C-alpha cells in the first residue's frame, strides 16, 4: 500500500461521498494503491450510515473506524495513524476544503526528494476576518517565544509524510494532543507548500472563537512551562513592590508624620494580591490537571466499530 488518507469526520454526512469521489478522481491513473481511512468521531447525523454505504461499495480500499462518542479531531487522527498501512500517510479534512489533488502533488514531491520526510501545506490566503487573524498571529508569536519547539505560522494538519514520521507520532501517546506541536516536536525534514483552502463542500465548521482559544491554550500549556515561571515572576515582582511600599509608608510616618488613611489602599491591595494568587493557582492547576489526566492512562479514543477491507465487518 503506497498511501493512506486519514480523514476525521464529525457530522460530515453530506461530504463523505463527495470526498471519496474527489479522491478517486484525483488518483485515477496515478498508478499506485491507496486506502481511505474514515474516522467517524461520534457524529450525530447520518455520517456513519453514509460511511457504511461507502464501505460496502468499496470503490477503493476503505476502512471505517467509528468512535463511541465525540473524542475530537486529534483523537481521530491518532486512530487513523494506528490503522494506516501505507508507506506514505496523509491527513486531510472531509469537507473538501483541502483538495485531494494537492495530496497527489505531495506524494510526487516525497517520491522525488528522498531526504524530505514531511510535506506540510499552509494556507497562503486567508478568508477569515481581521480579528481572528490577529489572534492567530499573536498565538504563534507567543508560543514560539515560550516553547522550545517552533511552530510554522498558518501550517495546518494537512500533511503527507513517511511512515517513520507516523511511527514517531504514535510513540507520543499523550492524552492532550496538539498535532501542530507534535509535528514540531518529532522533527524530521519538513517542506512547507502554500495552498488555498476552498469553501466547505457542505455543512459548517466545528470551530468557533472559544474553541480556537481553548486549542491555543492547549498548545501553550502542552509545549511550554513558561506560564509557571511567569506566575513566579509576577509573585516576585509584587513582593518587591510590597516591600518598597512598606518602606515608603514607614518613612512617611516617621519623617513627615503623615498618617495614611488606609481603607481604600488596603481594599485594593487585598483584591490585587488575592486575584494574583488565584491567577497563579489557576496556572498551576492547568498543569496539575493535565498531569492528573495523563496519569489515569485512559485510552485516547474508544472505537465502537472498526470496518476494514480485509476482515469484513470485524467488531471491536
Ligand atoms: N472534526 C472531527 N472531530 C471534531 C471536529 C472536527 O473529526 O470534533 C473533523 C471535521 O469533520 C473535519 C475536520 O475535522 O473533517 C476539520 O474540521 P472543520 O472543517 O470544522 O475545521 P475548519 O476547516 O473550519 O478549520
Ligand atoms: Mg474545514
pLDDT digits (tens, 9 = 90+) for 82-111: 999 999 999 999 988 889 999 999 999 999
pLDDT digits (tens, 9 = 90+) for 47-72: 999 999 998 888 889 999 999 999 98
Q: State residue 315's pLDDT score.
A: 43
- Report DSSP state, residue 296: T
Q: What is the distance, to the nearest Å, from the Cα of residue 217 to the centroid of all Cα atoms in its chain?
A: 11
Pocket of ligand 1 (CB under 6 A): 8-10, 12, 41, 70, 72-73, 76, 93-95, 97, 205-207
Ligand 1 geometric centre to CA of 264 (Å): 51
Ligand 1 geometric centre to CA of 3 (Å): 21
In the structure, what pLDDT confidence band is assigned to residue 147 with cuts at 50, 70 and 90? confident
Q: pTM of the predicted model, to two decimals?
A: 0.80
Ligand 1 geometric centre to CA of 206 (Å): 6
Whose CA is closest to atom 2 on ligand 1?
73
pLDDT at 125 over 70: no
Tracing cell 506560564 back to the chain, one arrives at: 227
User: Which ligand has an atom closest to residue 65 CA?
Assistant: 1
Q: State residue 82's pLDDT score.
A: 94
* Atom of ligand 1 minimally distant from the CA of 11: 11
* Atom of ligand 1 minimally distant from the CA of 97: 23
Distance linking the first and last C-alpha atoms of the chain: 24
Ligand 1 geometric centre to CA of 95 (Å): 8
pLDDT digits (tens, 9 = 90+) for 273-298: 888 888 888 889 989 988 898 898 88
Nine-digit cell at 207? 470551530
Query: Averaged over 191-214, what is the pLDDT?
Result: 82
Q: State residue 217's pLDDT score.
A: 85
Amino acid at each position: 500500500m503506497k498511501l493512506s488518507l486519514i480523514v476525521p469526520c464529525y457530522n460530515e454526512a453530506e461530504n463523505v461521498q463527495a470526498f471519496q469521489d474527489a479522491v478517486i478522481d484525483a488518483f485515477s491513473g496515478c498508478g499506485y494503491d491507496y486506502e481511505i481511512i474514515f474516522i467517524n468521531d461520534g457524529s450525530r447525523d447520518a455520517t456513519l450510515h453514509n460511511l457504511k454505504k461507502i464501505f460496502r461499495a468499496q470503490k477503493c480500499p476503505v476502512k471505517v473506524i467509528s468512535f463511541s462518542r465525540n473524542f475530537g479531531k486529534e483523537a481521530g487522527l491518532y486512530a487513523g495513524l494506528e490503522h494506516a498501512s501505507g508507506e506514505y500517510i496523509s491527513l486531510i479534512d472531509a469537507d473538501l476544503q483541502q483538495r485531494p489533488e494537492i495530496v497527489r502533488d505531495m506524494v510526487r514531491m516525497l517520491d522525488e526528494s528522498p531526504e524530505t520526510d514531511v510535506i506540510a501545506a499552509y494556507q497562503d490566503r486567508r478568508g477569515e476576518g481581521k480579528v481572528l487573524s490577529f489572534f492567530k498571529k499573536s498565538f504563534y508569536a507567543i508560543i514560539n517565544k515560550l516553547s522550545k519547539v517552533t511552530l510554522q505560522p498558518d501550517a495546518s494538519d494537512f500533511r503527507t509524510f513517511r511512515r517513520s514520521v507516523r511511527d514517531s507520532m504514535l510513540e507520543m501517546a499523550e492524552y492532550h494532543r496538539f498535532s501542530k506541536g507534535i509535528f514540531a516536536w518529532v522533527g524530521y525534514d519538513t517542506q512547507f507548500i502554500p495552498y488555498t483552502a476552498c469553501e466547505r463542500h457542505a455543512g459548517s465548521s466545528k470551530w468557533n472563537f472559544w474553541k480556537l482559544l481553548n486549542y491555543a491554550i492547549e498548545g501553550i500549556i502542552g509545549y511550554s512551562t513558561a506560564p509557571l515561571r511567569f506566575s513566579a515572576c509576577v509573585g516576585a515582582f509584587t513582593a518587591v513592590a510590597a516591600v518598597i511600599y512598606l518602606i515608603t509608608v514607614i518613612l512617611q510616618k516617621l519623617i513627615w508624620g503623615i498618617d495614611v488613611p488606609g481603607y481604600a489602599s488596603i481594599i485594593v491591595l487585598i483584591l490585587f494580591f488575592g486575584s494574583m494568587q488565584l491567577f497563579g493557582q489557576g496556572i498551576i492547576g492547568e498543569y496539575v490537571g493535565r498531569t492528573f489526566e495523563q496519569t489515569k492512562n485512559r485510552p485516547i479514543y474508544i472505537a465502537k466499530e472498526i470496518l476494514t477491507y480485509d476482515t469484513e465487518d470485524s467488531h471491536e
